[in-house]
Amino acid sequence: MRPDSVSVPSRSRRRMARLRDDAIRWITRRHAHDGAAAHLGRDRIYILPTRAGYTLLGIILVMLLGSINYSNNMAFLLTFLLVGIGHNAMWYTHRNLLGLRIATLPVPPVFAGQPLQIPLRLEEAAGRAREALNLRVGPQATKPLAIPAQGSTTATLTLANPGRGIYSLPRQRLDTRYPLGILEVWSWLTLAPEIVVYPAPIDPGDPQGGGGDQSEQGLARREGEAPDQIRPYRPGDPPGRIVWKAYARSGKLHVREAASGQGDRLWLDWEAMPASDPETRLSMLCHQVLAAHNEGRIYGLRLPGQTLEPAQGPAHRAHCLRSLAQFQTEPVELQPQARGA
């Protein structure tokens, strides 16, 4: 088999996928961008028979022709009974989506390598329960969802982690085949939650991480900084600064404190990282941010073209980690793929 013949099916699949995406964009061109929430009205719900539905339609046509040919009243009765069942199924399937409200929820930031959990909230306000709903993003789908009357539920999509960066969620699809499976109704959604992926932390002092010898805490210190002092523990001291070795010797809690307030300010510097690869440097800085935060230190972050002044607390930690996540990148649309692919 020639090598170029192997790629023909993959090229055909890509071409069909592009044509399908173009068709979906053309069909949904009149829909406004959803943003944080979407309400499913009649103008954005689509319905078609499934394979089982087309099979049933063929059987009904054959039965109708037979009924006409033989003028059999019982055959007419059975034929139109099946038509009525199909008509009612169409009505029930369509209204299983009609009137639903779907809203985004905050997406917890993750580190590179961790699975992404995308929560979306589905709310029912029409006074009827909804069954067998499926929410999809690319090849990923949630388990079938049910919503009680006047209630709500949270759907969580688990996606493969694409690596460091800021992402938006691509087009979503909400569909159902309830109750008989002979018809499928669906709607396209363009909800846009922000997805933040931090670099995977790497200890600069770990030889496997490519780093060299660092201080005991793995933090960048200023030249000439006075060594830390040990003092008795006071209520409110950060747990990360407790000297556990001293506790093991004496049974009393002590904490490590810098010799001066100015010396306690740390600068985590891009240039000080013992690595040449930019992604490795970002991962090392990520580790240092986490270590400084856990120890309750006051720290700043220096990146090429950006400086975050020394501070502390959860808000400063989140600001530093976000700066690392979006360093020299632009927000892009997430490309969903099967986990482990």
DSSP state letters, 89-157: HHHHHHHTTTT-EEEE-PPPPEETTSPEEEEEEEE--SSS-EEEEEEEETTEEPPPEEE-TT-EEEEEE
Give me the number of domains the chain comprises.
Answer: 2
Cα 337 from Cα 116, distance rounded (Å):
12
For the segment 316-339, what is each residue's pLDDT rounded down to a tens digit? 999 999 999 999 888 888 876 654
Q: In this prediction, what percent of the chain has a pLDDT beyond 90?
A: 45
Instruction: Kindly state whether residues 253 and 143 are assigned to the same domain.
Output: no
**In the chain, which ranges are continuous DSSP H helix?**
3-6, 8-27, 51-70, 73-95, 244-250, 278-294, 314-325
Instruction: Kindly state whether residues 308 and 212 are assigned to the same domain.
Output: yes
Using the structure block, give the residue that is written with the tokens 């029912």: 124
Q: How far is CA 18 from CA 14, 161, 172, in A?
A: 6, 24, 16
b/e burial code for range 257-267 (CB count within 10 A of at least 16 → b): bbeeeebbbbb
pLDDT for 302 beyond 80: yes
Phi and psi of 8, rounded to 5°? -60, -50
Q: Could you give the 3-state DSSP secondary structure of residue 299?
A: strand
DSSP annotation of 35 reads: B
DSSP annotation of 251 reads: S
Cα 171 from Cα 340, distance rounded (Å):
22
Could you tell me which residue, 264 or 210, shows the higher pLDDT? Answer: 264
For the segment 286-299, what is each residue's pLDDT rounded down to a tens digit? 999 998 888 888 89
Cα 289 from Cα 322, distance rounded (Å):
11
On whether the CB atoms of residues 255 and 241 are closer than 8 A, the answer is: yes
- The alpha carbon dihedral of 207, 209, 212, 216 has a sign of negative
Q: What is the CA radius of gyration of the chain?
A: 30
Burial (CB count within 10 angstroms: exposed 0-12, middle 13-18, buried 19+), residue 274: middle
Residue 16 lies in a domain: no
Both tokens of 194, joined, read 């922000």
Instruction: Kindly state whether residues 54 and 81 are assigned to the same domain.
Output: yes
**Taking the complete model, does pTM exceed 0.75, yes or no?**
no
Q: Which residues contact 194 (CB under 8 A, 6 or more apart)?
A: 107, 166, 167, 168, 331
Residue 27 lies in a domain: no
For the segment 213-223, what is each residue's pLDDT rounded down to a tens digit? 443 344 444 44
Q: Which amino acid is at 12?
A: S
Instruction: Kindly state whether residues 39 and 143 are assigned to the same domain.
Output: yes
> How high is the pLDDT of residue 184?
95
**Which of residues 197, 232, 259 is at a domain's end?**
197
**Which of residues 197, 232, 257 is at a domain's end?**
197
For the segment 31-63, what is each residue's pLDDT rounded down to a tens digit? 777 888 999 999 899 999 999 999 999 999 999
On whether the CB atoms of residues 86 and 182 are closer than 8 A, the answer is: yes
pLDDT bracket for residue 340 (50, 70, 90): very low
* Enclosing domain of residue 293: 207-325
Residue 26 lies in a domain: no
The H or E element spanning position 198 is strand 194-198
Q: How many CB atoms lie within 10 A of CB 112?
A: 19
> How high is the pLDDT of residue 341?
46
**Which of residues 172, 197, 222 is at a domain's end?**
197
CA dihedral 13, 16, 17, 18 (to 10 degrees): 130
> How high is the pLDDT of residue 17?
74
> How high is the pLDDT of residue 140?
85
> How high is the pLDDT of residue 13?
76
Residue 221 lies in a domain: yes
Instruction: Kindly state whether residues 67 and 183 are assigned to the same domain.
Output: yes
- Spell out the long-range contacts of 59-66 with Cβ–Cβ below 8 A and sequence spacing 24 or more: 60/86
pLDDT for 245 beyond 50: yes
Q: How many CB atoms lie within 10 A of CB 197?
A: 22
Q: Could you give the 3-state DSSP secondary structure of residue 61?
A: helix
Instruction: Kindly state whether residues 259 and 151 are assigned to the same domain.
Output: no
Instruction: Kindly state whether residues 144 and 101 are assigned to the same domain.
Output: yes
> How high is the pLDDT of residue 238?
61
Using the structure block, give the residue that is written with the tokens 């010396």: 263
pLDDT bracket for residue 237 (50, 70, 90): low
Residue 4 lies in a domain: no
Closest CA to 45 of 167, 169, 188: 188
